[in-house]
Structure 1
């Protein structure tokens, strides 16, 4: 288990608890009361730390190396029913964007999302979760297939942005993202979007238009990362904490600005601290929102979605 700087008090208490339990096992000394006290302090410390997180600390948590990625969610939610589909039928199969059919109970869903790697080799293989144009075109192909067979769509967002390389621009990165946004606004099946990590720039928006947009509480959603914002405004990355504060990128900020529909609470200590519980929470949210959305006709779905996005940013003075 890896720990961030502000999580070090938790690490110390967990180490104390482990030592206490080992002493209890290896000797005749009764340490049960001491262990209970440490456990109580650990619970209180964890609550205090995660209750008062700054925007920058939430950005750090969204990038935690132990945090679950898109395939972790899909495999936990669907089990053996997930069938990954590949390729955009034009250029190639983008490994940073994954998608396919899976079931929750008896209901089929088309799952789409950015996938990051967990070590150097897989990070390079997945291009650090930064999709090329063919990734967004693959996502659109899968959405259109879902529409054809009346299958709802679930999108998991976790990307530092769309890939900014020359070859991506040559193949029409901007057009691919813009096309997805247009097509998603008029897709005739329910779309549920869940931000599970980083939601940066057009890379997130390319699969981010939905009837319901949910954000896990320790994630962020913004036009630019705090580091990039800092480097543009202050010519240095040193002011990333101030940038994170100014960008209003947390789930709480997004809900206040009415840019998302719901904040999904994570288990104590974050999504990585109790993966199974976190997967169950997200699964239940998807089912709950789908039950509401399936009552709407295709025409009502599109009209409601259009109205939702058309009203964003409107100011009545």
Structure 2
């Protein structure tokens, strides 16, 4: 769907006034010195360099919300929800996160999320070697360890929950498209057996899109961003997203680091099986996308069938 970019088209002066008026207690008066548009994702976003009233330069990450449901039937919930995650969930945890300046509500009623810009940060997938991946796995294990006890907290009742119907939709045998004699059989197994098994166990709060592209690495520290899909769900989905597509040695090291931070011990065979099921469900999800490419099908379908042999 089209995202309104009215807020994104503000003049430098207009954006500076908006930031100063709404976030003045934190930022003081500010003038814009540089703006850099970032990619073409679901929401318009940019890095904004400002000079604050005390003469200090700061870098802000500014993300502009839309006026419509951007992800019908999916997991993304919008910028207002993401701001609530930064404001009401993440500060409860003993864990490093991107600094949240606030959520601006301009006159056009389209929300604007303002975070620390971390201008020298790299996406985890851009960091050579595996150290950023291992650090991200450790961060994730700590995050899940702390949120396991929060899933039924009344003050966090606003956190979304992934329903069984969502996972079944991703694995619907009737929507199977790759031509393979075993594919529909695997999907039926997921819907009838694997998904119920996965949902029977205790859940945590998950990031929901914990792919390396959504994790920043700055000064040897991990900073996950894009929290629109945060939800109560099986924790294995986050780890499956993180290790998707990486070499086996990095995947194994990441799994070990996660287990050490999550449980202070090695992963059990039961937890490894649950991770394989989550990986299968994610492969099935991407195999049913409208814009499925031959390369995606050729990579994910064999992995899905191989995982079925392991569970």
Band the TM-score falls in, shorter-chain normalisation = under 0.3
Give the TM-score taking structure 2 as reference length. Answer: 0.27
Instruction: From the two aligned structures, give the one with the greater helix fraction.
Output: 1
Give the TM-score taking structure 1 as reference length. Answer: 0.27
